[in-house]
């Protein structure tokens, strides 16, 4: 299996995302952004069978839903309210059962179940976060959800009810100022936030049984980071820096970031 990393952008919004598989899958994710309603902010696909895709529509406070045919083309299957204002990022659990979206305007996570036959979403309610959430991630085991709370200078940890998909707050933990990105290490043992005002990355170890985070300190990034991602092998990481229009590069050892050489590469204008 090949893995590619893309920086996708449209209408002032973009996402740093990893999509395993072929170029066709990458083209699909681009199409998801282009076909979305109003001001799309982020996209996710149902991973278990890759038959459905979902886009958070920032300007419309909705989620656009799509089916995926065997050639990778999308067909709209409708929209559903995101459960709050200004949805910014959206994820599915690894088993393709549930969808979660952060609504920065309402300070909530919208929770949805996926109809495994039609791809339609059913609203399960919302959970409050630590204030103005900008980003969301799910651990590889599909047991916890993490939100980067830009207005609360924190990362919130939620456990996933495996039977129905609803979330329960484990705790919120202090990060650097204004976290706008969150990522989980592929081994499931570490969590990271990109802190926009402090221009650094907070690093935590994760107790995979309880969801408790332990602060491991910070590492410098470029100015005003907005997003980050860890390579699927867990050995490299990348942070997009809005303030200096570049991407910071890191090696990852024992879950901790270290600046790679060179430390950054240029990006296009205003990367998110």
Q: Residue 26's closest CA among 48, 43, 41, 11?
A: 43
Please, which residues have CB within 8 angstroms of residue 51's CB and are 6 or more apart in sequence? 67, 68, 119
CA distance linking residue 239 with residue 193, whole number of Å: 10
- Kindly report the pTM of this predicted structure: 0.86
* 3-state DSSP assignment of residue 231: coil
36, 91 contact by CB (below 8 A): no
DSSP state of 9: E
Strand order in the sheet with 236-241: 225-230, 236-241, 246-253, 256-266
pLDDT score at 32: 41
Strand partners, 101: 90, 110
Dihedral over Cα of 233, 8, 262, 174: its sign: negative
Dihedral over Cα of 263, 266, 270, 272: its sign: negative
Q: Residue 25's closest CA among 7, 49, 43, 50?
A: 50
Q: Residue 217's closest CA among 240, 190, 196?
A: 190
pLDDT score at 9: 32
Burial 186-210 (b: 16+ CB within 10 A, else e): bebbbbbbbbbebbbbbbbbbeeee
Strand partners, 81: 62
Residues with pLDDT less than 70, the chain = 1-42, 45-49, 270-272
Q: What is the pLDDT of residues 130-160, one digit of tens each?
A: 889 999 999 999 999 999 999 999 999 999 9
Strand order in the sheet with 62-68: 40-45, 52-57, 62-68, 74-81
40, 33 contact by CB (below 8 A): yes
CA distance linking residue 245 with residue 87, whole number of Å: 24
CA distance linking residue 196 with residue 151, whole number of Å: 11
């Amino acid at each position: 299996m090949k893995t590619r990393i893309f920086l996708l952008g449209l209408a002032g919004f973009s996402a740093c995302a990893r999509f395993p598989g072929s170029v066709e899958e990458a083209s699909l994710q681009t199409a998801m952004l282009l076909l979305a309603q109003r001001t799309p902010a982020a996209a996710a696909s149902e991973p278990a069978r890759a038959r459905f895709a979902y886009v958070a529509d920032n300007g419309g406070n909705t989620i656009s839903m799509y089916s995926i045919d065997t050639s990778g083309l999308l067909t709209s299957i409708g929209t559903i309210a995101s459960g709050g204002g200004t949805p910014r990022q959206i994820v599915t659990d690894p088993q393709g059962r549930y969808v979660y979206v952060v609504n920065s305007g309402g300070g909530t996570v919208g929770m949805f179940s996926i109809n495994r036959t039609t791809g339609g979403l059913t609203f399960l309610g919302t959970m409050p976060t630590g204030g103005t959430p900008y980003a969301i991630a799910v651990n590889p085991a599909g047991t916890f959800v993490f939100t980067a709370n830009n207005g609360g200078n924190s990362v919130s940890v939620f456990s996933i009810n495996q039977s129905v998909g609803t979330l329960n707050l484990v705790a919120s933990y202090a990060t650097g100022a204004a976290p706008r990105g969150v990522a989980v290490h592929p081994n499931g043992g570490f969590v990271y936030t990109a802190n926009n005002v402090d221009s650094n990355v907070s690093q935590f170890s994760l107790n995979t049984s309880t969801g408790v985070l332990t602060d491991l300190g910070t590492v410098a990034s470029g100015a005003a980071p907005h997003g980050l991602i860890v390579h699927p092998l867990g050995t490299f990481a990348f942070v997009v820096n809005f303030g200096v229009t570049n991407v910071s590069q890191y090696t990852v050892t024992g879950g901790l970031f270290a600046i790679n050489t060179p430390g950054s590469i240029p990006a296009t204008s205003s990367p998110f």
